Amino acid sequence: MSGARPRARMTGSQRREQLVGVGRSLFALRGVEGTSVEEIAASAGVSKPVVYEHFGGKEGLYAVVVDREMQTLLAAITGALNGRGSPRVLLERATLALLDYVEGSSDGFRILVRDSPVAQSTGSFASLISDIASQVEHLLVDTFAARGFPPQMAPIHAQMLVGMVAMTGQWWLDDQLDDQPDGSRPSKEEVAAHIVNLAWNGLSGLERSPSLSGSAVRERRGAPRD
């Protein structure tokens, strides 16, 4: 007679979290359209009715996954913009925060950037970009006013800045996964420095060898913010 103990049964909340994790991985790999309830259930080791019981189907599970990823990314960007610092330093912080998310939550980022009608029920990457841009907008209003630019143009510039960072982040993620010779992939800090270089200086004023400010670099090493 085997002395092995039966595995403890998951609680409802534990099962729900397991399904969210399984769904997140599958949606990132195949997209919502390419993922079936059968596949989700099989990967979680449960029957299809369990998935329906918790989420009503794969669309409900997908909506939960998308909402969590959106909240995680938005919180990271908002946190980066809190605190003191020059507009350029804050831009560097926000750029690095988004690239941190791309690097550390690549599955979540791939889910967000996919264009799926299902995402429209709880939001989309475009709406997330808009939310983040609204956080950046107040920085540009002050900068525009100081330089004599019309402050009503700040929202469109905020959209452009955030969109540029997000799309570059998608390229960087794909580039990181490509089979390239060692040393040919730009680091996260290099990507961030070039994004800020273009955003801050424009094409006519690009620095030849951009780098992040001392303040931003110190923060990456655990030093307190300015």
**CB-side neighbour CA atoms (13 Å) of 34:** 10
Q: Exposure of 104 by Cβ count < 10 A (0-12 exposed, 13-18 middle, 19+ buried)?
A: exposed
Residue 52 lies in a domain: no
CA distance 166 to 77: 12
Which residues form the domain of 189?
63-206
Residue 72 lies in a domain: yes
Residue 141 lies in a domain: yes
Using 50 as the pLDDT threshold, list the residues of the chain that sit under it.
1, 115-122
Residue 78 lies in a domain: yes
pLDDT digits (tens, 9 = 90+) for 138-189: 777 777 777 777 888 888 888 888 888 888 988 888 876 665 566 677 889 9
Q: Domain holding 156: CATH number? A: 1.10.357.10
* Residue 160 amino acid letter: M
pLDDT of residue 115: 47
Residue 93 lies in a domain: yes
Residue 45 lies in a domain: no
Residue 51 lies in a domain: no
Residue 214 lies in a domain: no
CB contact at 8 A, 191 and 172: yes
Question: How many domains are contained in the chain?
Answer: 1
Query: To 10 degrees, the CA torsion angle through 11, 13, 19, 25?
Result: -120
